[in-house]
Structure 1
Amino acid sequence: MFDYLIIGGGAAGCVLAARLSEDPAIHVALLESGPSDHSALVQCPSGIALLARTGQAQWRFATVPQPGLNGRCGYQPRGRVLGGSSSVNAMVYTRGQPGDFDFWAAQGNPGWGYADVLPYFKRAESNSRGADAWHGGDGPLHVTDLQQPHPASQAFVQAAVQAGFAANADFNGARQEGVGLYQVMQKDGERCSAAKAYLTPHLGRPNLQVFTGAHTSRILTQNRRAVGVEFMQDGQLKQLRTQGEVLLCAGALQSPQLLMLSGIGDHAQLLANGIATVHHLPGVGQHLHDHVDVVQVVKAAHAKDLWGISPTGIARIARGVRDWRRDRSGLLTSNLAEAGGFLKSQPMEPQPDLQLHFVPAQLADHGRKTLWGHGYSVHICVLQPASRGSVRLNGKDPLAPPHIDPNFLGALEDMERLRRGFQLVRRICAQPAMAAWGGHERSARARSELELELLLRETADTVYHPVGSCRMGPGGNGEHTDVVDARLRVHGMAGLRVVDASVMPRIVSANTTAATTMLAEKAADMLREDAAQG
């Protein structure tokens, strides 16, 4: 019998498993559908390029056809490995704007304002620059500057400054706005995922049991209380029971799916899928949103120093493999998305509404398509999309992918911000620092507003940050669309909490791993406090 059953070994699940098992009297089980994180492609920072191609350690989900994307189905990869998406992402460490968290609190979630959450960001972090007012120096999650940033990444920052934007050496400090090189979640030339930071050092604890290859099929309930989990492992259906709580950490796509498979969700949808209703909670799966993103790609055939598929490029990668295997140094310590920034698409914006990621390689179709030769790419994403979608069921089979509808570009303002961002990046890349690298934008023919809109609808997609589908809020409103309260307890249920990015009332203006880690650090404290109060 366990005190806590944690479903999902991603960023939040690993944090909770480590923090809760610090008390030797508390027995914790962590269930992860995927394998361990021992693969070199996971541990090597540049291994993400091959992970994208092979789909290793990932759920390779797809959206339903998106009207805003000209009917295309978007790609929705999520981590399926210990560490979750923190084991397969680009390791960029950014937190968001203070106003993001103050908005959470203003929506009826006391304790989630920026002043409340900053201590948890700091507690999680071990920044190689040392501790200060904004950063931690001795936390489990190692954050550092890139070992060997590419000259083109540095040139991109210089070009943005030439275009009139401010340089910023710390996007998580006094201000977010500006351009610079990203800090990354790495340690000694290896990825520092949530599993590496929180879980691996404590696998020997006798009160912590980790189940890999364990796919949860439903949460067991009794009288509207979570009492256990049912899961499939090695071809067998198994169960675990808890005398405490079930903590759902399966992410913004699979946490609502699992709630619905367990009979918790909108009654009409459950009935349509042949599932008996345990608790009518119509907000489950609603309010899904994500950072819609487009990639501007420049082919620079003569810039052989850029990453690329050519005899020269392959030889450089081979040397990089040698260096990384020898002493965890060299080319393959790159996270690829090395530089970027947070910018306003127009001067009257109160806060940056765009994020850029610069990649010193040509990138197409999430890295799954080969573009021969050399070049570079710039991601442009909308930080606060207005579009809202949903996650629904595709039947009662727990192995079936969820019905994912982010409603990308459903709101006109998202298109307008993305279009302004695309033009802004063109201005940056035309500056002397980037012009020196030469090259030709692959989409250069799209010039008018209509041509740009057509281009964006044909190429935009996710930048891998789905949130909001189990929204945190006080509940009791007319639509009952909040799923968890400010202590992350599922409304109307006992012994059940959701702890992952799905609870975010609104997406953070940044990559989401850091905020998810913070959220789980805070949840661990709440769980201890609530247990102490009985």
Structure 2
Amino acid sequence: MKKKYDYVIVGGGSAGSALANRLSSDKNTSVLVLEAGRADFLFDPLIHMPAALMFPSGNPLYDWAYETEPEPHMGGRRVPHARGKVLGGSSSINGMIFQRGNAGDYDKWATFEGMEHWDYAHCLPYFKRMETCIAGADDWRGGSGPLKLERGPASSPLFQAFFEATQQAGYPRTDDVNGYRQEGFAPFDRNVFKGSRMSASRAYLRPIRNRKNLDIATLATVTGLQWSGNRVTGVDFARGGKFKHSVEAGEVILCGGAFNSPQLLQLSGVGNPETLRAAGVTPRIDLPGVGENLQDHLEVYLQHSSLQPVSIAPWLKKWKAPYIGAEWLFLNRGVGASNHFEGGGFIRTNEEVTYPNLMFHFLPIAVRYDGTAPEGTHGYQVHVGPMNSDVRGHVRIKNDDPLAKPGILFNYLSTENDRREWVEVIRAARHILKQPAFAPFNGGEISPGPSVETDQEIIDWVAKDAETALHPSCSAKMGVDDMAVVDPSSMKVHGTEGLRVVDASVFPTITNGNIYAPVMMVAEKAADLIAGNAPLAPEHPPVYRAKSGMPIFPEGDPRNHSWNAADKVPSAAEAMGEIQ
């Protein structure tokens, strides 16, 4: 390790991996990646076997195991948030579902002042640059990028019933949810290639790890930034939790994600002065938006038992694990070679929205994300939740200890619009699962079950049972307004020199789907902004846009159920007692 680098990247996760690759492609530029977690060893099946995705979450060897503060509208529950503790970050432990979001997401970004060059036309070439779509390149998809994407076969009887049921419910099929038309149902692209997880580390770091101008240090926790006035000149970090080090930098790029990047900014005196002083930190740069605007996707599982033995439940039997592992290890195939989230889709739940606000993941088994299954052998489920919630939360340090976890609060279910959409979401999902295509398989709803029917019962169940979809974002947003943190033309932190942020925290609003693909796009685009390269030219292929006022459901459809504002959930004070 050198004493000084042109760029020090704090975080070897999704964005950090991409930036390290692109910035170190200039042989005259030195790059250091500091990753607080460990290496993603090639012989570790819990990272590289797609079907093992449930095992790293909650495991301290792989997961930082964050949790929220008590969520006031969810009965005071603390909601766990898995975050990758390894090279590749959360891309090394996530569900491997690759979703870009809707073109409308980026056009919405471009409506914010200063964000004009973050519309879909300007983002599309960076999506294409980063990927090799195995299903085929076209005007919307890339064919020569480092991130190789396989499309799920979604060919089992349960997947076929699901796709048929969506059409019986009045929803369209689409060729590619990441292409011309997101709205509709189709097999999903996945971060899987030749039967193994295609993490950001595998795609971007492993092929270039021997570059002489690139150093990668794991088990290296950055504890603070070095300053000269308002310029960041380096970082302090602890190696292995014990040995303290410092390194100088021409520039420092924070890639710690929606929790860690605002945390390090606040620890370094960048943020809301009141928050900083309360935590014992002397304010340096007054940026009240640091840690605010936090967003996420919340989801539930609607589970059914199956009358026929066609799910993958038998493969959960422990005695089959050696066979699954051997088939995956030696033949790169079999049950272990799939994440099993092979298909799903996007719909609009009401006439107010102009593009989909609900995403479905279908799974040919009834099982919790931690691997626990309900009673019964065979089943299936859909994971559903609103995509564009107006709920906002925050990330705030509690003290000046760099090793202490920050306070995280999302305020799930805190707005009437969010609660209304949840009612629409559950009714839309049930409508699909009750279609004739499922009749040969439908053994009844396991979760939430027939006791959950009214608006209030649905909201109460969501508050009790929902989990995060693990998409925290937007806590150090790009823009030029008073609450913006990052300059969208340079990725520099406002009011500083030598300091940038590139990760999900810079999203102004959350995108419609899983956030891994948008994070990688932001990193690709940011690499050009940081290096001073000419940006890729915008592209303008047609994209599907629903007509304004287009009817969503046929007359008499139960999804036309209207939300009754009187059926409100308790306020925070009512739910938890008076909040001081």
Deviation for aligned residue 1:311: 8.4
Question: Which of 467, 481, 484 is the matching residue for 1:482?
Answer: 484
What are the within-5 Å matches in structure 2 for residues 406-485 of structure 1? Answer: 406-442=410-446, 443-444=448-449, 445-475=451-481, 480-485=482-487
| 1:503 lines up with 2:520 in the alignment | no
2:248 is aligned to 241
Deviation for aligned residue 1:307: 2.9
Look up the SS of the partner of 1:49 in the other structure: coil
1:84 is aligned to 89
What are the within-5 Å matches in structure 2 for residues 247-262 of structure 1? Answer: 247-262=253-268
Q: Which amino acid aligns with 1:359?
A: L
Deviation for aligned residue 1:252: 0.5
Deviation for aligned residue 1:322: 2.6
Could you tell me how far apart the structure 1 residues matched to 2:112 and 2:151 are?
Answer: 35
Deviation for aligned residue 1:35: 0.8
Could you tell me how far apart the structure 2 residues matched to 1:52 and 1:247 are?
Answer: 27
Deviation for aligned residue 1:428: 1.1
1:292 is aligned to 298
Could you tell me how far apart the structure 2 residues matched to 1:392 and 1:311 are?
Answer: 43
Deviation for aligned residue 1:148: 6.8
Q: Which amino acid aligns with 1:274?
A: G
Q: Which amino acid aligns with 2:393?
A: G
Deviation for aligned residue 1:269: 1.3
Question: Which of 333, 340, 343 is the matching residue for 2:337?
Answer: 333
Cα-to-partner distance string for 1:90-147 (whole Å, 9 max, x where unaligned): 1111111112111212102131111111000000010112221001100000011125
Deviation for aligned residue 1:265: 0.9
CA contact (8 A) 1:317 1:331 kept: no
2:134 is aligned to 128
Q: 1:180 to 1:531 in 2, by over 3 A?
A: closer
Cα-to-partner distance string for 1:441-485 (whole Å, 9 max, x where unaligned): 12222112221121111112310111110011113xxxx211011
CA contact (8 A) 1:121 1:136 kept: yes
Q: Percent identity?
A: 38
2:358 is aligned to 354
CA contact (8 A) 2:491 2:530 kept: no
Cα-to-partner distance string for 1:421-452 (whole Å, 9 max, x where unaligned): 11111111112322322322122221122211
Q: Which amino acid aligns with 2:75?
A: N
1:175 is aligned to 181
Q: 1:292 to 1:148 in 2, by over 3 A?
A: closer
Q: Which amino acid aligns with 2:520?
A: T
CA contact (8 A) 1:355 1:383 kept: yes
Question: Which of 65, 83, 92 is the matching residue for 2:70?
Answer: 65
CA contact (8 A) 1:216 1:229 kept: yes
Q: 1:408 to 1:346 in 2, by over 3 A?
A: same
1:276 is aligned to 282
| 1:31 lines up with 2:34 in the alignment | yes
1:101 is aligned to 106
Cα-to-partner distance string for 1:51-83 (whole Å, 9 max, x where unaligned): 236354111111011122122111111111111
Could you tell me how far apart the structure 2 residues matched to 1:56 and 1:432 are?
Answer: 45
Deviation for aligned residue 1:179: 1.0
CA contact (8 A) 1:468 1:505 kept: yes
CA contact (8 A) 2:154 2:160 kept: no
Could you tell me how far apart the structure 2 residues matched to 1:414 and 1:233 are?
Answer: 43
CA contact (8 A) 1:291 1:463 kept: yes
Look up the SS of the partner of 2:56 in the other structure: helix
Could you tell me how far apart the structure 1 residues matched to 2:352 and 2:288 are?
Answer: 38
Q: 1:53 to 1:299 in 2, by over 3 A?
A: farther
2:17 is aligned to 14
Could you tell me how far apart the structure 1 residues matched to 2:315 and 2:203 are?
Answer: 37
Could you tell me how far apart the structure 2 residues matched to 1:33 and 1:271 are?
Answer: 26
Alignment RMSD (CA, Å): 1.9
Q: Which amino acid aligns with 2:159?
A: S
| 1:143 lines up with 2:149 in the alignment | yes
Q: Which amino acid aligns with 1:132?
A: D
CA contact (8 A) 1:6 1:13 kept: yes
Question: Which of 216, 238, 241 is the matching residue for 1:232?
Answer: 238
CA contact (8 A) 2:528 2:534 kept: no
Q: Which amino acid aligns with 2:441?
A: W
| 1:371 lines up with 2:374 in the alignment | yes
Q: Which amino acid aligns with 2:483?
A: T
Q: 1:396 to 1:420 in 2, by over 3 A?
A: same
> Please, what TM-score do these two structures have when normalized by structure 1?
0.94
CA contact (8 A) 1:299 1:376 kept: yes
What stretches of structure 1 of length at least 5 have no aligned partner?
none
Deviation for aligned residue 1:151: 3.3
Could you tell me how far apart the structure 2 residues matched to 1:324 and 1:368 are?
Answer: 19
What stretches of structure 2 of length at least 5 have no aligned partner?
536-580
Could you tell me how far apart the structure 1 residues matched to 2:129 and 2:479 are?
Answer: 25
Question: Which of 365, 387, 390 is the matching residue for 2:391?
Answer: 387
Could you tell me how far apart the structure 1 residues matched to 2:153 and 2:519 are?
Answer: 25
Question: Which of 184, 202, 223 is the matching residue for 2:208?
Answer: 202
Of 193-202 and 288-297, more deviation after overlay is shown by 288-297
> Please, what TM-score do these two structures have when normalized by structure 2?
0.87
CA contact (8 A) 1:147 1:189 kept: no
